Chains A and B, each alone.
Chain A
Amino acid sequence: MAESLLSLDDLAVHFKVGNALAGGIKTLKAVDGVTLDVKPGECLGLVGESGCGKSTLALAIMGLLPPTRGTMNVDGQQISGATPPDRMKMARTVQMVFQDPYASLNPRQTVRRTLADPLRLHGITDKEEVEARVIDMMAKVGLRPEQADRYPHEFSGGQRQRIGIARALILKPKLVLCDEPVSALDVSIRAQIINLLLELKDEMGLAYIMISHDLGVVEHVSDRVAVMYLGRIVEQGGWQEIFENPRHPYTRALIAAIPDPFHRAAISADAKARGEIASALNPPPGCHFNPRCPLKTDICTAEYPAFGEVSPGHRAACHFRERTQ
């Protein structure tokens, strides 16, 4: 078995919110015991609705939020609440591509500066080498060398996302977190960026964590998929198992919710989830999904289900994971 590039063991990130005088301080369990691993060159899809803790998890993996509990191992670097990461080393290992290419680039820096700064900060000071790597990186993401002295506003959304990808890859990281990399782009541009990400993954041997709510994209790019709900992973498995044989009712609800004109008849009404995600401040007792679940019985409000194995590598946190419908 290949060594993991990233492994999370019971990782939790909690926030204290509220005011001691007004209503009391509460604990918001944004991420609550996530165990995951990503191998080199692998793409892990991470799906879930807003408020499920995806972004907090991403920030924790980037080393930007200290874990409240649990440990994280990033390419040999052990990180926990007590042992903060070496930021410079982290930056050479894990990078991020953000959702909004309009907000995530510095409007007052040229492309060249945006790409060259990380190199200089990490000790590559030879002007010719910096220049060569900047131009090489731009070519890899499909930008022309003469565009290096332009500012972000001179580019279209798709090109800006190319700059964002170039910035993430310039230090040759091993793991790239892609947080909804195409959802802010025009529909006709999305395929270009998805193809580019996949090409670069093969070319540079990258591992990805692809955070997205678009299950079509996740199915297309992922090797394995993890489904998150209220701070916990509720189902995890190979892409084919998750999409062809989902065992958690929440996964089924997500799949059923996709407006797919090609399989309209296949959507069964009882697969749909009712209502909305509960607040992470006050998760329902037992299985967090129970208020919305079509399979709910008494045990679901009493006990949080074990994250049990369905088949090797495929796990689901549901009392009824043996049911296929």
Chain B
Amino acid sequence: MDRRLNLTGWGFLLPAALLIVIVSFVPMIQAFILSLQTGRGTRLTFADPLWYNYQRLLGDEIFKQTLLNTFIYLIIQVPIMLVLAMILASLLNNPRLKWKGFWRTAIFLPAAVSLVSYSLVFRTMFANDGFVNDAIGIFGVEPVNWLGEPNTARFVLILGLLWRWTGYNMIFFLAGLQNIDSSTIEAARIDGANAWQTFWRVTVPQLRPIIVLTAIMSTNGTLQLFDESWNLTKGGPAYASMTMSHYLYEISFQRNPNFGYGAALSYVILILVAILAFIQLKVGDKRD
């Protein structure tokens, strides 16, 4: 009986599992095989040595530049965003706050905007004769060539990411906060902890699973960042703001198509995501 039930269970799982295998795992294996091949366009042959494309990445200056850019985004943007999201979430979780629905919607709304359109709006705002230069001009500040200088271009990109994704992550923290037993907070307050101490010593530790979740999701998202790099700056000036995924697209579709090399790059991104997620899980998981 048990066996039969088990089989029925598996039977129900099978269609979905098969679909995942066919549309997700099989292409992944194909991409791996592709990453061992080299050649232009359709004329692909197995590389000699097989790991040639991976070896080639080590000597690719543009790849190193895009890797650096991506990690700059990751290291600066993700921590700021998560801390902001946490602070916003706990502010909005305050039971005495008025207009709660409005604030929540307003902060979450950017996450509903298409990546392309917000990038274009940012590009217009930060154009040489754009809104931002006009605004700082009022205070007598010289106009800045925001998208034309490496560091300011990266700054605008990070600003865009913060605007777009902070609200999204805040929702996870809000959900996490609802699950925290309010008696723990009350107890802290009775013990004489101030708001700051309560937040960092009582609330944040209880949010750990959510922090790990959002950190992994953000890391994953940042390593695969494409739209902003493509739409805001086209990767410029001189590759200074191009992300790895943008370079991957260039290799495969903009330049002479080198799909083997592109596939190898995609596997490097996968490996990086896996390593970082593993580290975050290890660091975040402190179960007794």
A complexed with B: no
Using a CB–CB cutoff of 8 Å, the interface residues on chain A facing chain B are none
Using a CB–CB cutoff of 8 Å, the interface residues on chain B facing chain A are none
